[in-house]
């Protein structure tokens, strides 16, 4: 666990995502949660010196960041679209049924998914008053329609979810590429802020630029596939080319490649109206 500024901590030891917590004299606001219930308990135990958890913010509906919320008895906040997505899920989750290169793929069977559905949602912006501390939630779609950021102006920190991924490709299956690029442009408003990625922790401006270059390639390559009437399976050929330049650890390459392949195939199908 690392305190990146006064009262803001992040932890990257849990599978799938980097979680965070914002402390005040009135309690804690948690940013995402570990996917495994036992990891969630450990996370809360380690935060006990900082205060009592008051709220949980879910940055989007990716299963790696939301499934653990079913075991947390605190109000959860998210975007309207995130709630709609999660409310449509069955109460039982089987990760191996539809693998997407996520840590959730490893879950054999869990129940109680409905308990993770966020109670409080918003459309554009939401201000959370945590004692004297003001936390802003901004809707910034791109990775998913319901992606949000958590912004703290007093200490110049922003949790930006999957907006930027450095060492591994993000999941593109729910992506809105144009909106994603617009959201990256909005990071200019946060010049000088510490930016926390859900996969890489603290990132640099160069990482934002690299993410933009990666995203701009995606619709161009998919358009070429469509022009050639290539099938969904062609995404398996495209994925390794798009991953060139990413420093994916050898032990994680297979999972990262699956994430990119499945995401590209779904995005291709959505964009061009193809049958599965």
Tens-digit pLDDT profile for residues 66-123: 999 999 999 999 999 999 999 999 999 998 888 999 999 999 889 999 999 999 999 9
Residues 103, 78: Cα–Cα separation, whole Å: 21
Domain boundaries, the chain: 2-204
Determine whether 271 is exposed, middle or buried from the number of CB atoms within 10 Å of its CB (0-12, 13-18, 19+): middle
pLDDT computed for residue 273 by the predictor: 80
SS3 content of the chain, % helix, strand, coil (to 5): 40, 25, 35
Lowest model confidence (mean pLDDT) among 176-180, 242-246, 271-275: 271-275
Token reading at 56? 């949980």
Tens-digit pLDDT profile for residues 120-148: 999 999 999 999 999 999 999 999 999 99
Rounded to an integer, the average pLDDT of 161-175 is 96
Residue with tokens 């912004």: 151
Query: Which residue, 116, 119, 123, is CA-closest to 80?
Result: 123
Tens-digit pLDDT profile for residues 205-238: 999 999 999 999 999 999 999 999 988 888 888 9
pLDDT computed for residue 247 by the predictor: 87
pLDDT computed for residue 232 by the predictor: 85
CATH topology of domain 2-204: Metallo-beta-lactamase; Chain A (3.60.15)
Average pLDDT of the chain to the nearest whole number: 95
Rounded to an integer, the average pLDDT of 37-49 is 95
Beta strands of the chain (E only): which ranges?
2-5, 8-11, 19-24, 27-31, 53-57, 76-79, 92-93, 110-111, 120-122, 125-130, 133-139, 148-152, 157-159, 194-197, 201-203
């Amino acid at each position: 666990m690392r305190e990146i500024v006064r009262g803001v901590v992040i932890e990257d030891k849990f599978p799938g995502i980097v979680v965070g917590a914002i402390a005040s004299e009135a309690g804690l606001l948690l940013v995402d949660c570990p996917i495994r219930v036992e990891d969630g308990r450990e996370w809360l135990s380690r935060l006990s010196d900082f205060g009592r958890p008051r709220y949980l913010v879910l940055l989007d509906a990716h299963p790696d960041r939301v499934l653990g919320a079913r075991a947390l008895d605190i109000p959860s906040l998210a975007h309207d679209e995130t709630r709609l997505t999660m409310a449509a899920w069955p109460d039982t989750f089987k990760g191996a049924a539809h693998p997407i290169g996520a840590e959730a793929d490893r879950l054999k069977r869990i129940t109680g998914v409905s308990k993770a559905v966020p109670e409080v949602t918003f459309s554009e912006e939401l201000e959370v008053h945590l004692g004297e501390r003001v936390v802003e939630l901004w809707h910034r779609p791109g990775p998913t329609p319901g992606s949000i950021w958590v912004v703290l102006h007093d200490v110049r920190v922003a949790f930006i979810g999957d907006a930027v991924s450095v060492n591994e490709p993000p999941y593109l299956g729910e992506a809105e590429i144009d909106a994603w690029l617009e959201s990256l442009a909005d990071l200019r408003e946060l010049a000088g802020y510490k930016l926390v990625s859900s996969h890489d922790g603290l990132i640099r401006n160069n990482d934002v630029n690299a993410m933009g270059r990666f995203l701009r390639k995606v619709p161009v390559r998919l358009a070429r596939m469509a022009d050639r009437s290539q099938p969904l399976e062609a995404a398996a050929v495209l994925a390794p080319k798009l991953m060139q330049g990413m420093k994916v650890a050898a032990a994680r390459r297979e999972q990262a490649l699956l994430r990119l392949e499945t995401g590209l195939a779904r995005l291709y199908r959505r964009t061009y109206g193809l049958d599965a």
